[in-house]
Amino acid sequence: MTDLLQPKAIGQARVRRDGLDKVSGKARYANEAPIANPAYCHLVQADIARGQVTTIDFTDAEAMPGVLAVLTHGNGERLSSTKDKELAVLQTGDIAFRGQIVGVVIAESPEAARQAAELVHVEYSQEPHDVSLSADRDDLYKPEKVNPSFDTDTSTGDVDAAMNSAEATVTATYTTAMYHNNPMEPHATTALWSDGDLIVWDSTQGVHAVRSTLAKVFGLHKEQVRVVCPYVGGGFGSKGMPHAHVVAAAMAARALPGRPVKLALTRQQMFSLVGYRTPTIQRVRLAADRAGRLSAIALDVVEQTSRIKEFAEQTAVATRMMYAAPNRATSHRLAALDVPVPSWMRAPGECPGMFGPEVAMDELAEHLGIDPVELRIRNEPDRDPETGNPFSSRNLVACLRDGAERFGWADRDPRPGVRRDGDWLVGTGVASSVYPTYRMPQSEATIRFENGRYVAEIGAADLGTGTWTTLPQIAADALGVPLDQVDVRIGDTEYPIASVAGGSSGTSTWGSAIVEAANAFRDKYGSDPEDGDEAQGQVPEYQAKKRYALYAFGAQFAEVRVHADTGEIRVPRMLGVFAAGRIVNPRTARSQLIGGMTMGMSMALYENSVLDPRTGHVVNHDFAEYHIATCADAANVEAYWVDEHDPHVNPMGSKGIGEIGIVGTAAAIANAAHHATGVRVRDLPVTLDKVL
Ligand code: MOS
């Protein structure tokens, strides 16, 4: 048990402290680093998916006015560590995926660099490539662990036997597409070397992670690298760890001693260089009695990774703890393809992994004639089925009931394909949502009294989530002082080490460190500090995770309308109710939740990276063809939460909310589309050709 803070500032719907600077253009992003006389670089990318570079002719490029240098694997510097093959930029001529960096052009202007990059002539010896994922490949392998360190397979009881003796079963295969992270601000890095030390302004979810990675790659002490990033225009996981372009920018800057170099990726380049969500193939098996009580639940997943670096999405982990069923099994198998390296994208694991099972639950509900809300309630476990630990708090049922009430679920006619409003077929659907409550092991904060104000310093990130606004709320309550006397400083490795803004763990982790620092400060100086007084704190060990299952839950409801003639699909209404502990700032929290739900709608209906098997190229690599839900698509998205008092998670009583909003949305929409049309779509996205 943790003593929860007395909430005074916590719980207030505060506006973003950085909001005005962001919308008025005062906030400086990575590509706007305040430095004089920068050079600019542009990347040259492989246009084969597998083979070797044989020759690179850059005489034309170098001859262009304004071009300063062209780096290739022939003349680029040797890195100290090439262990991470994704980051081993220009170290060999081997090509492992289309779009890989094969050259860097540095010039006086971004336009010159880009034009010169077109004039770099690369020849290859090409090898046959393979980018096609399927569940019947004979080279599928079992990774040792799945992201970040979950067991690859689990098995309890006997799923086959339960399937054979069950009164009702569902066996079906579902697929989710390849998705690319598309934050509004493309990835950008500005780099400058001076006296052998490196400073980078990088658009990142974690300045300290970028620092330690660059130090390793370039063979420097951490103290020789400074990373600055006060503002981020979104990341969704793609800025959670540095990708190859960050190394390329630092290499380019080293080639021009004393001169800063800027590298901004184009939207199109982001489709090969900054990660993506692997496509998944999910075989789901459910067994139940006539009353809908599950006797078995199983999820077997096939997904892809790259040949040069493994990323194993933990797609099946949520199935391990979601519902009570005595017989359970999960597995992950990977195909290592000639594709870019997959990585984190908002709720890796839970987001794709709740699609198949939550549609399967809908299929089971229909089969048994049980309301899908009720079916989920009947399978509510009283402990974590996997570990046997109690949940620190679990309010899925409250979310389902409250959501059903708010959405107007009670009078729902369960029959699919029978409601019409003019030319539109109308349906509603539901799905559950879950996300673990993580706290990272390493983060520190300093609190100082300065010019009559309290200042908390921590190298945390605000990737649009609200950190600038919520950390002062936590610090104010921990110090027992008014919120308007508290400032924070984040986004710079000059401030104490902080974990990456990932796994929805930021507020929980950094907030815990700030509370420790505040406690130390009050112990030392009481409530009447003097200028210059300061104290440190670090995040305590997360003891609760040994004794409790720690998760946030949610229930997602959607209304879908499908045009009877054209198959056009609209989602006029989405409603989510979440149980995520105490909400630190209702205003920024609501924004996180409806943002997640909107991204889930985007996944359900629009997003789909189309990988051409002939070239290994994502052909729809821009916003004209990679469709993302717009404001007009997200007509009415509502997020609510139930009061939840959880003394086990952290002193704020808060659970992470950055990712849970996207979990379950696609299933709720697919279920609603089935209810509207009677057509069961098991392969995302749900598009008109599939429902007609
Ligand atoms: Mo999130 S995908 O853990 O940045």
Q: How far is the CA of 146 from the centre of ligand 1 (A)?
A: 15
Q: Is the CB of 240 under 6 A from ligand 1?
A: yes
Q: How far apart are CA 673 and CA 362, in angstroms?
A: 12
The label of the residue with tokens 């995520």 reads: 580
Q: Which residue from 148, 88, 101 is spatially nearest to 308, judged by alpha carbons?
A: 88
Long-range contacts of 138-145 (CB under 8 A, 24+ apart): 139/335, 139/336, 140/302, 140/333, 140/334, 140/335, 141/333, 141/334, 141/335, 141/336, 142/331, 142/332, 142/333, 142/334, 143/305, 143/310, 143/312, 143/332, 143/334, 145/312
Q: Give the residues across from 52 on adjacent strands.
A: 94, 125
Q: How far is the CA of 660 from the centre of ligand 1 (A)?
A: 11
| Residue 205: partners with Cβ closer than 8 Å, 6 or more residues away | 232, 235, 237, 239, 240, 461, 463, 500, 501, 502
Domain range spanning residue 365? Answer: 145-179+276-438+547-691
425 and 458 both lie in a single domain = no
Write out pLDDT tens, residues 29-41. Answer: 999 998 999 999 9
Q: Is the CB of 345 under 6 A from ligand 1?
A: yes
531 and 513 both lie in a single domain = yes
CATH at 224: 3.30.365.10
247 and 283 both lie in a single domain = no
Q: What per-residue confidence (pLDDT) applies to 515? A: 98
Write out pLDDT tens, residues 474-522. Answer: 999 999 999 999 999 999 999 999 999 999 999 999 999 999 999 999 9
Mean pLDDT over 393-408 rounds to 98
CA angle 340, 656, 577 (to 5 degrees): 105
Last residue of a domain, one of 490, 509, 541: 541
Sorting pLDDT into bands at 50, 70 and 90, what band is 344? Answer: very high
Residue 329 has pLDDT above 90, yes or no: yes
Q: Is the CB of 239 under 6 A from ligand 1?
A: no
Whether residue 20 lies inside any domain: the answer is no
The conformational region for residue 291 under phi > 0 = left, psi -120 to 50 = alpha, else beta, is alpha
Q: Is the CB of 346 under 6 A from ligand 1?
A: yes
Q: Is the CB of 463 under 6 A from ligand 1?
A: no
* Torsion, CA 70, CA 73, CA 75, CA 81, rounded to 10: 120
Whether residue 26 lies inside any domain: the answer is no
Atom of ligand 1 nearest to the CA of 463: 4
332 and 224 both lie in a single domain = no
Among 181, 239, 313, 346, say which to mutate for ligand 1: greatest number of ligand atoms within 8 Å of CB: 346
Whether residue 27 lies inside any domain: the answer is no
| Residue 44: partners with Cβ closer than 8 Å, 6 or more residues away | 101, 102, 103, 104, 105, 117, 120, 122
Annotated active-site residue 659? The verdict is yes
Whether residue 43 lies inside any domain: the answer is yes
321 and 174 both lie in a single domain = yes
214 and 293 both lie in a single domain = no
Q: What per-residue confidence (pLDDT) applies to 257? A: 86
Residue 616 has pLDDT above 90, yes or no: yes
Write out pLDDT tens, residues 300-324. Answer: 999 999 999 999 999 999 999 999 9
Q: How far is the CA of 645 from the centre of ligand 1 (A)?
A: 25
424 and 329 both lie in a single domain = yes
Q: How far is the CA of 343 from the centre of ligand 1 (A)?
A: 9
Last residue of a domain, one of 234, 256, 273: 273
Q: How far is the CA of 485 from the centre of ligand 1 (A)?
A: 32
Phi, psi of 4, rounded to the nearest 5 degrees: -75, 145
Q: Which helix (H) or strand (E) covers residue 525, if one does? A: helix 506-525
Write out pLDDT tens, residues 648-669. Answer: 999 999 999 999 999 999 999 9
Sorting pLDDT into bands at 50, 70 and 90, what band is 109? Answer: very high
Write out pLDDT tens, residues 245-283. Answer: 999 999 999 999 889 999 999 999 999 999 999 999 999
Q: How far is the CA of 116 from the centre of ligand 1 (A)?
A: 35
211 and 101 both lie in a single domain = yes
Which is it for the CA torsion 650, 651, 653, 657, positive or negative? negative
257 and 351 both lie in a single domain = no
Inter-residue contact 366 to 170 (CB < 8 Å): no
Whether residue 21 lies inside any domain: the answer is no
Last residue of a domain, one of 541, 558, 578: 541
Q: Which residue from 664, 666, 49 is spatially nearest to 318, judged by alpha carbons?
A: 664
Q: Is the CB of 352 under 6 A from ligand 1?
A: no
Q: Is the CB of 661 under 6 A from ligand 1?
A: no
Q: How far apart are CA 668 and CA 554, in angstroms?
A: 12
pTM of whole model > 0.95?
yes
Q: Name the domain count of the chain.
A: 3
Global ipTM = 0.96
Mean pLDDT over 191-213 rounds to 97
48 and 96 both lie in a single domain = yes
Residue 1 has pLDDT above 80, yes or no: no
222 and 371 both lie in a single domain = no
Phi, psi of 689, rounded to the nearest 5 degrees: -65, -25
Q: Is the CB of 503 under 6 A from ligand 1?
A: yes
Whether residue 446 lies inside any domain: the answer is yes
Residue 439 has pLDDT above 90, yes or no: yes
Whether residue 398 lies inside any domain: the answer is yes
Q: What per-residue confidence (pLDDT) applies to 22? A: 95
Whether residue 517 lies inside any domain: the answer is yes
| Residue 617: partners with Cβ closer than 8 Å, 6 or more residues away | 47, 49, 98, 99, 611
Atom of ligand 1 nearest to the CA of 345: 2
Write out pLDDT tens, residues 535-590. Answer: 999 999 999 999 999 999 999 999 999 999 999 999 999 999 999 999 999 999 99
Task: Give me the chain's average pLDDT, please.
Answer: 97
Residue nearest to atom 4 of ligand 1 (CA): 237
109 and 236 both lie in a single domain = yes
Q: What per-residue confidence (pLDDT) applies to 3? A: 86
Q: What per-residue confidence (pLDDT) applies to 692? A: 87
